[in-house]
Structure 1
Amino acid sequence: MTKHPCVNRCTPSSKACKGCLRTATEIRDWDTYTVEEKLKILEDLEVRKRRYVPDPTACSEVE
């Protein structure tokens, strides 16, 4: 069984859900994907998180 990426904070935007970062197509078709396809999407979500979620340390003061 593959982990489901939904975080129960559905906030659709024009490109992806702001909660799980999946596209509308990925959300709609999730149950039809193979395990391999789901794993690939989960890998892609990690990249999206790094790209779209700001690094909390970026705002810290440098000594």
Structure 2
Amino acid sequence: MSSSSSGAPLPIRWAMILVIAMAVGTLVGILTYLETGTWPATLLAAFGAAGAAVPTLHKILGP
């Protein structure tokens, strides 16, 4: 089992990316629910936004 160089189970950079992506997904989900009032549309928009945020934040935050 390999360990990371910092010794943390999850590097701080990736933790930040995932937390920000969750916040983006939550915000989009709330706004979608307020607009449409349907759960399927809310979940689709929230998961889509969170999924799109991860690679975008990975590029923006860089190594």
- TM-score if structure 1 supplies the norm length? 0.38
Tell which structure's C-alpha radius of gyration is larger: 2
Higher relative contact order (CA 8 A, sep 6+): 2
Q: Which has the higher helix share?
A: 2
Q: TM-score, normalised by structure 2?
A: 0.38
